[in-house]
Homo-oligomer: A and B are copies of this chain.
Amino acid sequence: MKPGDCFEVVTADKKVAVMELEEIAEHSATARVCKEIEHTVELPLQVTIVCGLSKKDKADWIVQKATELGAQHFIFFSGDYSIVKWDKKKQEKKLVRLRKIIRGASEQSHRVMVPTVSYIENIKTLQLEKYSEKMVAYEEAAKEGETASLAKLVSRVKKQQRSIKDLHLVAVFGPEGGISPAEIQYLKSNDFSLTGLGPRIMRAETAPLYLLSALSYALELN
């Protein structure tokens, strides 16, 4: 870069400004604020996407697309019906790779924070006390014509004039093989709502994108 070039800076408290480089010294540089950017690009609630492990590179593109669509956290887990598992060594390698993809997608979509990603062995080790809203995408619910749960969640979020720090949705998605009856039972008994995402059966990796797009439409475009 040379004096006169512009760049965007995001501060620790998530303010965004367009800066112009003024001067480059030996061990420092000076830039001035050209324009503070007021509008936010972050969803008005925190969303943690929890996905059962599926085959191949599905995790790669779930994190890429869901970062573009505004998710703040990702947790992958080995579901009862997951065909793959990540052992200790694979976990580290995978998480490094996913963090790199997330960083790229965050820059591309001008996010003001970089989503986090982690891995848990079992859905039962989710730390539930963090979340103010809990849902699991459930194909059987969709088949039985469940169409109200997501709209109800949206209307609860709209009513609460709380700050984004306090509004935190956790959304669980099964792996390719689906979510097991035992897992559903555990989630149900912990107040997760069984949520239908429309009448069409989606692949495991498509459902989180549907949810994030629907939330954006309902909370940011209406």
Residues of A within 8 A of B (CB): 39-41, 65, 68-70, 108-111, 145, 147-148, 150-151, 196-203, 206, 209-211, 213-214, 216-218, 220-222
Inter-chain contact B39/A200, CB cutoff 8 Å: no
Copies in the complex: 2
Cβ 8 A contact of A221, one of B40, B198, B202: B198
Closest chain B CB from A116 CB (angstroms)? 18
Q: Closest residue to A65 on the B side, CB-wise?
A: B206
Roughly how many angstroms separate A148 CA and B217 CA in the complex, as a whole number? 10
Contact residues in B for A202 (Cβ distance below 8 Å)? 68-69, 109
Roughly how many angstroms separate A202 CA and B198 CA in the complex, as a whole number? 23
Contact residues in B for A148 (Cβ distance below 8 Å)? 221
Cβ 8 A contact of A111, one of B65, B68, B200: B200
